[in-house]
Amino acid sequence: MHKIYSPDKNTWPALLQRPTQTVADIEGVVLDVFNEVKNQGDSAISAYTQKFDKVILDTIVVSAQEIDEAKNVVNSDLKEAIRLAKSNIEIFHSAQKTAKVSVETSNGVACWQEKRPIQKVGLYIPGGTAPLFSTILMLAVPATIAGCSEIVLCTPPNAEGKINPAILYTAELCGVTKIYKVGGIQAIAGMTFGTETIPQVYKIFGPGNQFVTVAKQLATKFGVAIDMPAGPSELLVVADDTADAAFIASDLLSQAEHGKDSQVLLVSTSKEMIELVEKEVDKQCASLPRKEIATAAIANSKLIYVENDEEALALINEYGPEHFIVCVADEDFYVDNITNAGSVFIGNYTPESAGDYASGTNHTLPTNGYAKQYSGVHLDSFMKAMTFQKISAVGIQQIGQAIELMAEAEGLQAHKNAVTLRLDSLK
């Protein structure tokens, strides 16, 4: 890992750059796939599945038989763990429900807001080097609580044309209505335009590699909403001498093993802690099954020493990490003052892995600095807030003249007339 000591603030933009390609670098590739899927439908999906996933499928639809077989393959201990995680996620997201907001803004003018579910949502579940069945929990559970009527899931098949059994078991457990063996750009395109087999959806959720991230952003140009630009995973830990170096190293590596384009950072007010963590990273990485991936990600990562907590916080808010772990004596300083982070983990016994799986919070979070303006997935991500109003005769007399004056000042005579006619009818 690169060690940087007391970096000048002018160097922060370069120091905090992510190891990702820009949208411009890969948008052309994504757009080509989109155009083919839009024009050729299932045949384009099949061609790209053969090209990228190295498999020819008779059908991309997951059958009921495949789901039943998956239930028998997943061992009972894993099923119990998945059910525990599902319960905690349900508890946390159910608590996010809000009641109807109703108020009389003026005498006779009633306004209220109610939430309605997004009817058709698409979930993208990565299934390459790591089959992320946990992401199904994070997306399908709140979608079900919200009341989405159609929950479509796309995930890439393996070389044998199969889907990881844990993905199928979890999808069925969480109420997914349709499952398709499609990955990558072509999956996002399929859900964006719809094909003979894949239904078009109104909003797409889920993480993915840089190509999936750009594909989701491109989907918005064709009238489909997305949760956020969620790309390669990242983690920032702030630590002082009260932290445990072994714990910190394990957290850094837990994100580094996601992919070669992941990034992890340690920001510390202790030079000794930086040295200890570096040694622990080397030690723990050596025994990881995904050592090659983690090592490549570590090459993109940094150990940064700063003089004090104030400077550390400023640097962290500038970075806007997806995951932010706080392991310092003065936890409250960071917890109270952090403004840009996807999800915050506090204390030596709160690993980022807890949020990934079973604590109850959502792990679908903004990356690449988007934590400065995006929230992570939550219950309202699957809902729309609709406003209503009902105005009585007394009410229109209360606010009618104000409407007339404002409409006339904007030069919108028909707007004014819509009120004037009603006021005249009450004279």
What pLDDT sits at residue 173? Answer: 97
**What angle, rounded to 10 degrees, do the helices at 210-219 and 184-193 form?**
10
Determine, yes or no, domain membership for 387.
Answer: no
Find the length of the chain. Answer: 427
Residue 316 belongs to a domain with what CATH number? 3.40.50.1980
pLDDT of residue 208: 84
Q: Tell me which amino acid residue 197 is.
A: T
Residue 148 contacts residue 121 (beta carbons within 8 Å):
yes
Domain total of the chain: 3
DSSP tally for the chain: helices H, then strands E: 17, 14
Residue 304 covered by a domain: yes
**Is residue 381 in some structural domain?**
no
Query: Do 52 and 161 belong together in one domain?
Result: yes
Model pLDDT, residue 38: 98
Amino acid letter, residue 256 = A
Tell me: do 246 and 212 sit in the same domain: no
In this structure, the answer to whether residues 203 and 241 fall within a common structural domain is no
Tokens 């070669």 belong to residue:
260
Cβ-contact 177, 198 below 8 angstroms? no
221 shares a domain with 79: yes
213/283 same-domain check: no
Same domain, 274 and 351: yes
Q: Residue 79: enclosing H or E segment and its boundaries?
A: helix 76-94
In a domain, 399, yes or no: yes
> Do 182 and 283 lie in a common domain?
no
Domain boundary among 190, 208, 228: 228
User: In this structure, are strands 383-391 and 109-117 parallel, antiparallel, or unpaired?
Assistant: antiparallel
* Cα-to-chain-centroid distance, residue 220: 15
pLDDT value of residue 373: 96
Task: Print the domain residue range for 220.
Answer: 23-108+117-228
What's the CA gap between 252 and 257, in Å, rounded? 9
Query: Are 344 and 238 within one domain?
Result: yes
Got the DSSP string for 220-266? GGGT-EES----S-EEEEEE-TTS-HHHHHHHHHHHHTT-TT-EEEE
Residue 76 corresponds to which tokens in the numbers above? 């009972």
Is residue 375 assigned to a domain? Answer: no
Residue 210: its pLDDT value, please? 83
Binding site per annotation, positions: 124, 186, 209, 233, 255, 258, 323, 356, 410, 415
State the DSSP string of 269-319.
S-HHHHHHHHHHHHHHHTT-TTHHHHHHHHHT-EEEE-SSHHHHHHHHHHH
211 and 80 in a common domain: yes
One pLDDT digit (tens) per residue for the chain, 427 residues: 899 999 999 999 999 998 876 667 789 999 999 999 999 999 999 999 999 999 999 999 999 999 999 999 999 999 999 999 999 999 999 999 999 999 999 999 999 999 999 999 999 999 866 789 999 999 999 999 999 999 999 999 999 999 999 999 999 999 999 999 999 999 999 999 999 999 999 999 998 888 998 999 999 999 999 999 877 889 999 999 999 999 999 999 999 998 888 999 999 999 999 999 999 999 999 999 999 999 999 998 999 999 999 999 999 999 999 999 999 999 999 999 999 999 999 999 999 999 999 999 999 999 989 999 999 999 999 999 999 999 999 999 999 999 999 999 999 999 999 999 999 999 8
Determine, yes or no, domain membership for 372. Answer: no
Please say which residue of 228, 244, 259 terminates a domain.
228
Residues 99 and 198 in one domain: yes
Does 384 fall in a domain?
no
Residue 160: inside a domain: yes
Q: Catalytic site residues?
A: 322-323
Q: Who contacts 365 (Cβ-Cβ below 8 Å, separation ≥6)?
A: 228, 230, 322, 323, 342, 343, 371, 376, 377
If DSSP codes are grouped into helix, strand and coil, which group holds residue 349?
coil
Domain's final residue, options 172, 200, 228: 228
Looking at the DSSP bridge assignments, the partners of residue 151 are 121
Q: Cβ neighbours of residue 284 under 8 Å, at least 6 residues apart?
A: 246, 249, 250, 253
Per-residue pLDDT, 21: 62
Do 29 and 164 lie in one domain? The reply is: yes
Residues belonging to the binding site for Zn(2+) are 255, 258, 356, 415
For residues 174 and 284, state if they share a domain: no
Binding site residue list for NAD(+): 124, 186, 209
Per the CB < 8 A criterion, the answer to whether 126 and 159 are in contact is no
* Other CB atoms within 10 A of residue 402 CB: 11
